[in-house]
Amino acid sequence: MTEEKSIPEKIGPYRIERELGAGGMGTVYYGRHETTGLEAAIKVLPASLAREEGFVYRFKREIDALRKVKSPHIVEFYESGVDDDISYYAMEYVDGETLTARLTRERRIPWRDAIDIALQVCRALKSAHNAGIVHRDLKPSNLMLGADGAVKLTDFGVAQVFAAGQLTMPGGVIGTAEYMSPEQARGKRATKRSDVYSLGAVLYVMLTGRPPFTGQSALEISQKHIHNRFDSPRQYVPELPHWLDEVVCKCLEKEPEDRYPDAHVLSLRLAEIPKKVDYLQEHESFEFGSGEGTAETMAESTSGASSMGGEVGGTLMRDLMQAHLDEQRAATPVGSLLDNTWVLVGLLLLLILGGVFWYRSRDESPEELFARGEKLMQRSAGSAWEQARRECFLPLIKKDPETWKPRVDGYLDQIAAYAVEREVRGAQSTRTGDSAADEVDRFLQRAFEQQDEGDYAAAEATLTALNVLMESSPRSDQERRAVRHLLREVRAQAEDPPDRTEQYPFLRTSLERAEELQLAGEDEQALRIWESVLALYGDDPGADGLLHEARRRVAAAPAAPEAGASD
């Protein structure tokens, strides 16, 4: 047991000086390259875990993810290897502390500092997403705060690599319960918007000192992410800018399409907030009568206003009202008409509508129309996508199909697939009056279930047959496009299957806990967890890939219960 706890002198070309931390996926050491003297953090996968295929796969995936991503806000990957049966990789050493450590010390972080940290995380996520990586486990302990103020994202051990253009492909997910998106808690596909949700939860805990949801177990917290509403940050910290409160709440929307589409858009919204607050502070003396703006941005600035005597405010208001009445008495009929608020509002609306009509009536060039459609497609899936289809892509095909069909077909297929999947996966079908449509929905539902279960060959067979029938039947173009898009998606998944074993965050947390107990010499407690896991998940084919080690441990430990019984 003391040998397991001892620090190795050397791993690969690195001289080890001290341990930085340990967890369920291994230990991280601080070391220096024996030739160059380069400081590094060296993460190792213990030999006990290296025997398990799932842990080895996860470790290799972390290495692959770090290799692919280059960003000043993501720890840099140096090299990897195997030394005396110990798998390791070396990465950039960050001289600082985790965000968890700072939160433990300070409890809450000033909102400007929180925005600065979040902006740097947004840049890290943008680089990861551009490289085809969804982090899936964004949390304070995975964010390193350097002594120079730089923020570095670490731990890509559960990151998901998705194919370019296949952002919606399913695959089991894992994460830490307090920061896990609702779709991850359901075991559904993770996308860029899942990372946006997790960053929203990190922002929430930075601003309020508590996560959006708490509970007695990971399962309870996960269910709250799916079903419950959280208290807005301003309920705990009223002095927060209301714009920041709105941004955090939008990040934490239950439905992915209701969140910001990606980290870049989120960063733009966050960067605006300090500028708005500074502007209001600089011009608050001119914001007569708009106390709401000051109160909602900086609560402390209201103290100065409250120190003014009530008599001064009352006298000022009385004089203003008297002057207003005098003006009304002296006004001409035209002046009175133009001084009417509702008349002015009506004129303003007419002016706006006229401008919109003029703008819409002018002819957009095909390239402008296509650019507008692409811009709409960058927004959340839903009404913006339908607007792009109706106002941009379909008119382009109608105007010049030879030129534009190849360029817009991919977008139209994506829109169709989203619409059909949203309808079919809904609680109730909207096509109950059409038996033929109900049949198609039934086959699509079967394909989605096969896809969710990881049976991509069966899903491909279902969609291939359905595609043949739909091509020779008078189905809607939208449905045909959706089936073609889904068929391409399933074929891509069949060639490069996602890791579905991570659909079970509670199971994986339990197994990691058992490994930690076993490494600590608590064999009896570890065995109880393995036995309980088999009792709960033994008949679940989707979890089978995670249960090999538990079965081996239980089968290899018949003597332990006998020894316990004799005591």
pLDDT in tens, 464-521: 998 888 776 666 677 778 888 888 888 887 776 665 555 677 787 888 888 888 887 7
Task: Output phi, psi for 497, to 5 deg.
Answer: -65, 135
Q: How far apart are CA 241 and CA 269, in angstroms?
A: 13
Kindly report the CATH number that applies to the domain delimited by 96-276.
Answer: 1.10.510.10
For the segment 144-155, the average pLDDT, to the nearest whole number, is 89
Burial class of residue 562 in the structure, from the number of CB atoms within 10 Å of its CB (0-12 exposed, 13-18 middle, 19+ buried): exposed
Which of 137, 245, 262, 452 does the annotation list as catalytic? 137
Q: How far apart are CA 474 and CA 430, in angstroms?
A: 19
Q: Which runs of consecutive H residues, i.e. helices, occur in 378-400? A: 383-388, 394-399
| pLDDT tops 60 at residue 405 | yes
CB-CB neighbours of 365 under 10 Å: 8
Which element (helix H / strand E) includes 108?
A: none
Which pLDDT belongs to residue 376? 87
Question: Of the candidates 197, 280, 187, which has an alpha carbon nearest to the alpha carbon of residue 241?
Answer: 280
Query: Is 148 one of the catalytic residues?
Result: no
Report residue 145's pLDDT band, with 50, 70 and 90 as the boundaries: very high
Beta pairing partners, 29: 19, 42
Report for 165-179, 256-270, 293-307, 547-561: range of highest mean pLDDT: 256-270
Lowest-confidence region among 163-167, 176-180, 228-232, 304-308: 163-167
Give DSSP secondary structure letters for 508-567: HHHHHHHHHHHHTT-HHHHHHHHHHHHHHHTT-GGGGGGSHHHHHHHHT-SHHHHHHHH-
* pLDDT tens digit sequence for 206-263: 999 999 998 888 888 888 999 888 999 999 999 999 999 999 999 999 999 999 999 9
In the numeric block, which tokens belong to residue 240?
Answer: 């927060």
3-state SS, 279-328, equals HHHHHHHHCCCCHHHHHHHCHHHHHHHHCCCHHHHHHHHHHHHHHHHHHH
Report residue 564's pLDDT band, with 50, 70 and 90 as the boundaries: very low
CB-CB neighbours of 297 under 10 Å: 22
pTM metric for this prediction: 0.51
Kindly report the CATH number that applies to the domain delimited by 2-91.
Answer: 3.30.200.20
Higher confidence at residue 410 or residue 120? 120
Where do the CATH 3.30.200.20 domains begin and end in the chain?
Answer: 2-91
The percentage of residues in the chain with a pLDDT greater than 90, rounded to a whole number, is: 24
Higher confidence at residue 557 or residue 267? 267
Higher confidence at residue 45 or residue 41? 41
CB 543 within 8 A of CB 504: yes
